[in-house]
Structure 1
């Protein structure tokens, strides 16, 4: 997926449950503004919204792995990590026809065992360097302020579209970033060719 005129670019890194009614609204917002995002999805909920997952891919967004049911990967051992990731890979591929290349660990938590298991699955580890804390503030204005204050070229910005306030904030954030010369792209587009098992916080900070 390509992006043109990127004097500045940033990636919107989003978590979604796959069943949230606000995701469709967000997709409408993104489509109207020709902005792209990466949706990190829980495998256990993908089956409930296959049309939404397919729409994400069809409209040029990226769908990625956020484990099966959001455990702390440091607590479940290598076999547990492998199961969490492989089940989610299968669910996303069944819904969208696309096999994810990226994953985001719940809570951003990993250890050596988890990283080795993630690498063995061929997945890159996506973190973030701009945290809107939308999950905590539940405020469109505060989410907007945090996103715009910290955005920079090559940033990975974390949002959670399960919260109505985040979706409400999205149009203003996107419009403001566009006015500053940013092009919003998927994480894979931002990073180019991320390596399995490597952690990425931004395009300049693997």
Structure 2
């Protein structure tokens, strides 16, 4: 089994065998996702540990410009999914806590991500389904950080971890984004998260 497939499945023996067979640089043909990314996305704690020990690049982002996960790092996707243990692993391995993704969309769910048509637009706090063409939603400048998406999705433990690791509490999407100027505090819905962000100096 190739490393990517083993990592995706959470197959610990398969990952070990693939690493030993020097297949550590295999990527997904379609989505250009690293094994570490897909393991982080799915919360496979042991596999993430294996890959990090084998020297996986903790900050390598997806790079296929035709996929809606363009620019997502392992830390970003783990934060998005609320995988607190994986977030801790990645931070200890030196993940860039303030590295933003390349898109400005929060997505409906992993089952719909694969056809790249259905997204959730949370602009102005309203959840609205849109049907879009994949080629029409690629902005060009800095977007959402791990702290931003964790705050928006209500992952309090992850927010706490990221703040402790030095995340920029007021870093907002840049010019050209639907989310321009909106801080993590401005999109946080849960009172616990709002309190943490405010205590860290967050501005609305």
TM bin, normalised by shorter chain, reads 0.3 to 0.5
TM-score (norm 2): 0.33
Larger RCO of the pair (alpha carbons < 8 Å, separation 6+): 1
Bigger-Rg structure (1/2): 2
Q: Which structure features the higher share of strand residues?
A: 1
TM-score (norm 1): 0.33
